[in-house]
Amino acid sequence: MGKVWFVGAGPGDPELITVKGQRLLREAGAILYAGSLVSEACTLWAGEGCDIADSKGMTLEDITAWLIEKAAQHDTVIRLQTGDPSLYGALIEMLQPLDAAGVESEVVAGVSSAFASMAAASESMTLPEVTQTVILTRVEGRTPMPEGESLRELAQHKTTICMFLSITLLHKVREELLAAGWADDDKILVVQKASWPGEEKVVYGTIANIREKCRSEKIAAQAMIVASPTLGARDWQELKKSKLYDASFTHRFRKAEV
């Protein structure tokens, strides 16, 4: 049997896949990519004669059966997933059948759309004495949230919150943030198709008006929502600086200047 690699394709820009991911694509005998989310351009690195298929119409059982079948035919088989495989990627659900079939597997990390979204807006998730914590979550929809993980409960920490798979629930985002103590005029960021060449949209608004702004931009899918006390810090007149680069701060690579 060959080996199945779960490769994070990154957020959309084909150049944001890792060097290791590119190498594996070139070596692969078969590639199954998530066509509804992963740019087909990521398969440009595939070798001649590679068996390439799109999984957007497949069930979980179809996907795992395909991977097991191809692992019997090729040394290297790739499941190419959007962003990073460990985030909302049904990774464990696919690994278990492979384990049961005795198929070796490995995961290659990818750039998450959460990070690509902040990069698109030139924003920082963390700032000294503002927030040092990032929450990656989603708003409850068809998939229920575990106890203690509602947006209302998480938002009470007033940290950076990146909300996946929730763009159609902006009304609920507002309701939950306000209930957690945020204000209607607090900034919020929405990025659709972060890093996708020619398709990326960056929209700023407030908790009160972001839903209407997204409607105006026709954003209804493939978008990241970010609520954070750090948004807009580039324009702040006063900013607490990192101790790492402070001349008066000593660490193991540099002594403080007297």
Domain boundary among 66, 82, 108: 108
> Same domain for 60 and 141?
no
On the 0-12 / 13-18 / 19+ scale of CB atoms within 10 A, 31 is: buried
pLDDT in tens, 23-49: 999 999 999 998 877 877 777 889 899
Q: Per the domain annotation, does 257 fall within a domain?
A: no
> Same domain for 93 and 13?
yes
Distance CA 109, CA 86 (A): 8
> Same domain for 81 and 10?
yes
Mean pLDDT in residue range 13-24 = 94
pLDDT in tens, 96-148: 999 999 999 999 999 999 999 999 999 999 999 999 999 999 998 888 899 99
> Same domain for 104 and 153?
no
Instruction: Provide the 3-class DSSP secondary structure of residue 16.
Output: helix
Q: Per the domain annotation, does 256 fall within a domain?
A: no
On the 0-12 / 13-18 / 19+ scale of CB atoms within 10 A, 100 is: exposed
Domain region containing 216: 113-235
> Same domain for 186 and 200?
yes
Q: Is the pTM of this model over 0.95?
A: no
Q: Per the domain annotation, does 249 fall within a domain?
A: no
Q: Where are the alpha helices (DSSP H) in the chain?
A: 19-27, 60-71, 91-100, 113-120, 151-155, 170-179, 210-216
- Indicate the number of domains in the chain: 2
Three-state secondary structure along 52-107? Answer: EEECCCCCHHHHHHHHHHHHCCCCEEEEEECECCCCCCCHHHHHHHHHHCCCEEEE
